[in-house]
Amino acid sequence: MKNSNLFLKNKIHTKFISRKSLNSINKKFEKIYLETKNDIEDTNKTLNVLSSNFNFNFKIKNLKKFKKFKKIALIGMGGSILGAEAIYNFLQTKIKKKIYFFNNLDERKIIDFKKKENQSNVLFIIISKSGNTLETLSNVFLLNILKKKAKNIIIISEKKNNSLFLLSKKFDLFYIEHKKNVGGRYSVLSEVGILPAYLMGLNIFKIRSKIKDSFDKKNKFFIKESTTKLASLMNTKKFNNLVLLNYCPELEKFLFWCQQLLAESLGKKSKGFLPSVSNAPKDHHSLLQLYLDGPKDKIFNIFSLEKKSNLKINLSKNKNISSYLNNKKLNKIKISQKNALIKAFEKKKIPYREFRIKIINEEILGKLFSIFIVETIILGKLLNINPFDQPAVEQVKIDTKDFLI
């Protein structure tokens, strides 16, 4: 399906799906789709983040004092930081600032950062919805950045009795309230992703300008066809792996954002699939044999970028060696590899979907975020799964604290 600068294609074969199951799920789709669409204008719902009337808990004028910083360090975990990483990765050529991401517990990274940087020249953005994320707090304390009335710290968390909120009060730090109704993995288009994007120097209005397009007629058709078939495949319990196969380096961090979105939203009640990011063509030489001739338990989302490459092979001095590569541009080589893979998938009837982008800009990225958010929520509801909670994760957090006490 052509959609201006975004091409969407669905090739999930019905040979793997029970017609009865597919018909049953199709009957549920319209009601769920309409409910999901209506949730956008409900300020108490997660999907309100897609509304053109969404109210941010910050004002641009209050952030201008932070624009002077040429270096930014984001501290967070999961959905509190993956969206900002995706934005940075995709739009990096437009960003003139140095950006650090503290998204894990990495001793070497902390030590190197403290040796290299004068921390007073770095803007620290600390994000945690709960305000109690263990790894986020650990990084804050290990970096030793907290100082009374520090002018280079922004904290985003829920406004309640949590560690980050209490620290913001104790040290009199710039604080922004995290929306209660927007969970971390759905928060990229809220303060959590948009504020860092603004301070990176990006046009945040363009990022959000096309996000409601996920509900237009063309995208509805794609989402319906995808979610109903994916739900039917998942109900067979034969397909439990989703490979995010990536031919576009600029989308790598976006796919790690997708990985969390899909895993935490749908991995419940012994349902869901394991999403994994696979970078191509590199993985042609390590995983392709398994993809084509291994267990038939995988669905593929294929991502690529169709743009003119500046790099071209010139074999003027080696015309008789690998002549088929002469005058070929880099992206032509990658697209040829992708097309060869798709040909193999179709021959073997391996289920796949294709996401082909034609330009790198804020609007395309915002649209991709929106499509996957809407699709994931609808898919969860079709499977009778609550796509907004993560009860198993919460128990591990509780048990971790018990081990530390």
The residues spanned by each domain of the chain are: 2-37+210-313+323-387, 60-178
60-178 falls under which CATH superfamily?
Glucose-6-phosphate isomerase like protein; domain 1 (3.40.50.10490)
In tens digits, the chain (405 residues) has pLDDT values of 555 788 999 998 877 788 888 899 999 999 999 999 999 999 999 999 999 999 999 999 999 999 999 999 999 999 999 999 999 999 999 999 999 999 999 999 999 999 999 999 999 999 999 999 999 999 999 999 999 999 999 999 999 899 999 999 999 999 999 999 999 999 999 999 999 999 999 999 999 999 988 888 888 999 999 999 999 998 888 899 999 999 999 999 999 999 999 999 999 989 999 999 999 999 999 999 999 999 999 999 999 998 878 899 888 877 778 888 888 899 999 999 999 999 999 999 999 999 999 999 999 999 999 999 999 999 999 999 999 999 888 889 889 989 998
Instruction: Tell me the C-alpha to C-alpha distance, in Å, between residue 31 and each of 26, 28, 259.
Output: 10, 6, 27
Tally Cβ neighbours within 10 Å of residue 88: 21
The answer to whether 262 touches 387, Cβ cutoff 8 Å, is no
Domains 2-37+210-313+323-387 and 60-178 share a fold: yes
Checking phi first, is residue 349 left (phi over 0); if not, alpha (psi -120 to 50) or beta? left
Topology, domain 2-37+210-313+323-387? Rossmann fold (3.40.50)
pTM of this prediction? 0.95
